[in-house]
Structure 1
Amino acid sequence: MRLQAFLARAGVASRRKAEKLIRQGRVRVNGKVAVLGQKVGPEDLVEVDGKRVALPQERVVLALHKPKGYTTTRHDPHAERTVYQLLPTIPGLHPVGRLDRDSEGLLLFTNDGALTFRLTHPRYGVKKVYRVWTEGGTLPEEVCRRLLEGVLLEDGPARALACRPAPGGAFLTLAEGRKREVRRMLKAVGYPVRRLLRVQVGPIRLGDLPPGRWRRLSEGEVRALLRLVGLE
């Protein structure tokens, strides 16, 4: 396994950031400064900034129904509540993307850095489905068409892959994960969001998981995620 992939799998950083760590000379393999592209195996001693790094003994992927009012972070002095207060203690467990404090719904967690990188990188186009309720009520078909064609935000154009009107709002499907993207898109078309619930990430659905509860993904669900991003 290439060293940058090893570091990502160990949850140290994404592959791109792992490459930066290697170039900075902060990574050693068996006591020697590592080089980019170097291959390592289970018998090698890998250290970052002098601390040993090891692969997780077992890949873990959890689904959490994030309630409103919880911040997607481990430590934040300004956050009253964080999602980690709802989760079991598992080394290396981190969120796959984010939901802002006022949003609800499906949030995945894993200890597999490589899986996180591919699920969140725009290159892989992992679809996410949101149920939204807006101040303007049910989205008219013409507003859905505008969202499908794309709207201009301050950080560039954004468009929905699918939009279906629903009572009080709509179902939206996006493949990006820009900060508060759904909220900004709907505000741009004159329908500010009252409530936002993410119901699906790739093949994984929120289903009837109660707010504040988590579950471990089945082997079949994990295989589906790996297959989706070419890691199977």
Structure 2
Amino acid sequence: MEPIRLNKYLSAAGICSRREADRLIAGGTVLVDGVPADMGMKVTDENVILVNGEPVQPQQEMVILAVYKPEGIVCTTVEHKGEHNIVNLVNYPKRVYPIGRLDKASEGLILMTNYGEIADKILRGSNYHEKEYLVTINKPVTLEFLNAMRSGVPILDTVTRPCTVKKVSHDTFRIVLTQGLNRQIRRMCEALGCRVTFLKRLRVMNVELGDLQPGEYREVKGKEREALLASL
């Protein structure tokens, strides 16, 4: 194979995203032929590559999973005392990791993969990929509230992008976002004087939660997978 950048190699091998690979390299936990890796270096399958002491296998067949993350599960590959993470919940026979995050108090769809290129492209905010949520708040959903959410809310030293928001019931609405700021919906609601009591992600791009139940997963394949990859 032609030499490729180490972060891309780790991503293609299903270790992590390119961004996370850069963090691992900078932290000195990646060794190439017994020597700490340098940022930007290129490697091939002939190199012996270790991440946290574990050998990296060559690129695997691509896996994409749609997972129903229950409330209380954290979207990380790291073990935290007293917390259950999404990797252990799914217990997939191949190494996969979550694409992005869904906070511990929320539930619904999270995509998982062993292919970092997909994760990077889905998470890149400049691509304006849609994510849809069902949200309940502790106050009535008014027209004033809907208009404020649609037009953009000042949070985290920025203003959120205009988005689609539709009322479902007196205290529940659907919202479609094209960005992924930290705890964005909860912060938007807090900025408008209310609190989220229930949050469920229904869709990521063309992949929908469908009939999945909490803790269940399915492989994204066939036309659904083709459409997802085509949009990337």
TM-score normalized with structure 2 length: 0.83
Residue of structure 2 equivalent to 1:158: 160
The change in CA–CA distance for 1:95 and 1:18 in structure 2 (over 3 A counts) is closer
Correspondence for 1:212 among 200, 212, 215: 215
Residue of structure 1 equivalent to 2:47: 45
Residue of structure 1 equivalent to 2:57: 54
Distance 2:38 2:85 in 1: 36
Larger CA deviation: 182-191 vs 4-13: 4-13
Q: CA deviation at 1:145?
A: 1.6
Once the two structures are aligned, what percentage of the paired residues are identical?
29
Residue of structure 1 equivalent to 2:146: 144
Q: CA deviation at 1:46?
A: 4.7
- Pair 1:28 & 2:29 matched: no
> Could you say what secondary structure the match of 1:146 adopts?
helix
Q: CA deviation at 1:160?
A: 4.4
> What are the superposed Cα offsets for residues 1-38 of structure 1, whole Å, 9 maximum, x if unpaired?
6323222111334334545739x79553799x778374
Q: Which amino acid aligns with 2:150?
A: L
The change in CA–CA distance for 1:73 and 1:51 in structure 2 (over 3 A counts) is closer
Distance 2:38 2:189 in 1: 47
Q: Does the aligned pair in 2 maintain the 1:96–1:110 contact within 8 Å?
A: yes
Residue of structure 1 equivalent to 2:224: 221
Q: CA deviation at 1:106?
A: 0.4
Distance 1:194 1:142 in 2: 20
Distance 1:19 1:36 in 2: 9
* Structure 1 unmatched ranges of 5 or more: none
Residue of structure 1 equivalent to 2:85: 82
- Pair 1:174 & 2:177 matched: yes
Correspondence for 2:109 among 83, 90, 106: 106
Give the aligned length: 225
Q: Does the aligned pair in 2 maintain the 1:147–1:159 contact within 8 Å?
A: no
* Structure 2 unmatched ranges of 5 or more: none
Larger CA deviation: 201-210 vs 120-129: 120-129
The change in CA–CA distance for 1:35 and 1:106 in structure 2 (over 3 A counts) is closer
Distance 1:147 1:163 in 2: 7
The change in CA–CA distance for 1:38 and 1:65 in structure 2 (over 3 A counts) is same
RMSD over equivalenced CA pairs, Å: 2.9
Q: CA deviation at 1:216?
A: 1.1
Larger CA deviation: 123-132 vs 69-78: 69-78
Residue of structure 2 equivalent to 1:95: 98
Distance 2:229 2:131 in 1: 16
TM-score normalized with structure 1 length: 0.83
